Structure 1
Amino acid sequence: MSDIETVTVSDIPEGARLLDVREDYEWAAGHAEHAVHIPLDQLPARLGELDPDEDLYIICRTGGRSFRAAQWLVGNGYSALNVAGGMDQWLENGLPLVSDNGLKPVIL
Structure 2
Amino acid sequence: MFGEDVPAVDAAQVPQQAYLLDVREPDEWQAGHVPDAVHIPMGELSDRAAEIPRDQDVYVICRSGMRSAQVTVALNNAGWQARNVDGGMMGWAAAGRPMATDHGAEPYVA
Q: TM-score, normalised by structure 1?
A: 0.94
Q: For residue 76 of structure 2, give the secondary structure of its aligned residue in structure 1.
A: helix
Task: Please say if 1:73 is aligned against 2:100.
Answer: no
Q: For residue 44 of structure 1, give the secondary structure of its aligned residue in structure 2.
A: helix
Aligned to 1:26: 28
Q: TM-score, normalised by structure 2?
A: 0.93
Aligned to 1:96: 98
- Give 5+ residue unaligned stretches, structure 1: none
Q: How many residues align?
A: 108
Letter in 2 for 1:62: S
RMSD between superposed Cα atoms in Å: 1.4
Identity %: 43
Task: Give 1:13 deviation, angstroms.
Answer: 1.3
- Give 5+ residue unaligned stretches, structure 2: none
Q: For residue 22 of structure 1, give the secondary structure of its aligned residue in structure 2.
A: coil
Aligned to 2:10: 8
